[in-house]
Amino acid sequence: MTATVNVKTRSGLALRAETAADLMTPNPISVEANAFVAEAVALLIDRGISAAPVIDDAGRPIGVLSRSDILVHDRDYAGHGGTDADYYHRAELTTRTGESLPAGFQVEHVDRTMVRDLMTPAVFAVAPESSAAEVVREMLALKVHRLFVVDACGVLVGVISALDVLRHLGP
C-alpha cells in the first residue's frame, strides 16, 4: 500500500541578501598555485570543503582546485608502485642499521604534482557590491557552484557557494 501526502507550498521565497558581500563567506580558505597536490588534498579533507580558490603570491585568484580535479588526476596517475618484489631484491630491503623490512613492504611513489598543474584555470568573480540577484544570475548563466568575490585590486576577499545562496533564502 502506498501513501500519498499532499503538501501545499507557499510560493514567495526571497533572497534575504542585497549584495555579494552579504552572501559571501569572507576570508575563504585558499591554496597557493605552487603547493603540492597532496597538501591541497589534506586541506580539502581536513576543512570539509569540496573546492578551494587557487591564489597567486599577491592573493589574486587564478583558478580553482576541486575534488573533481583531484579525482581525474588520481585516475590518471598511479600513486603506488608494485610490491617490494617488483623493484628490489629481498637482500636490498634492509634499513640503514641492517634490520630487515617486514613482509608486505610497499614502495610508494610520492606525487610531486603542483596545484597549478591540476586546477581549473578559470576565475568567475564578482565585486562585493554586486547585487545578490546578479550573483544568482551569474551562477546560473555560468553553470558554476561558486563565485569568487574580489576587491577593486582583484584580491580575493570572499567566496559565494550555492549553499551560501540557499542559506539566505526564506519567506
Q: Is residue 8 part of a domain?
A: no
68 located within any domain? yes
DSSP state of 46: H
In this prediction, residue 154 carries a pLDDT of 95
Residues 69 and 127 in one domain: yes
Question: 165 and 90 share a domain?
Answer: no
Q: What is the pLDDT of residue 120?
A: 94
Q: Note whether 102 and 128 are same-domain residues.
A: no
Read off the pLDDT of residues 128-160 as tens digits, 9 standing for 90 and up: 999 999 999 999 999 999 999 999 999 999 999
Predicted local distance difference test score (pLDDT) of residue 97: 77
Residue 9 lies in a domain: no
**Is the entire prediction scored with pTM above 0.75?**
no
b or e along 149-160 (b: 16 or more beta carbons within 10 Å of the residue's beta carbon)?
bbeeeeebbbbb
Indicate whether 153 belongs to any domain.
yes
Do 126 and 149 sit in the same domain of this protein? yes
The count of domains in the chain is 2
73 lies in a domain?
A: yes
Q: Is residue 3 in some structural domain?
A: no
CATH of the domain at 20: 3.10.580.10
Range of the domain at 63: 14-77+113-170
* pLDDT (mean) for 44-70: 94
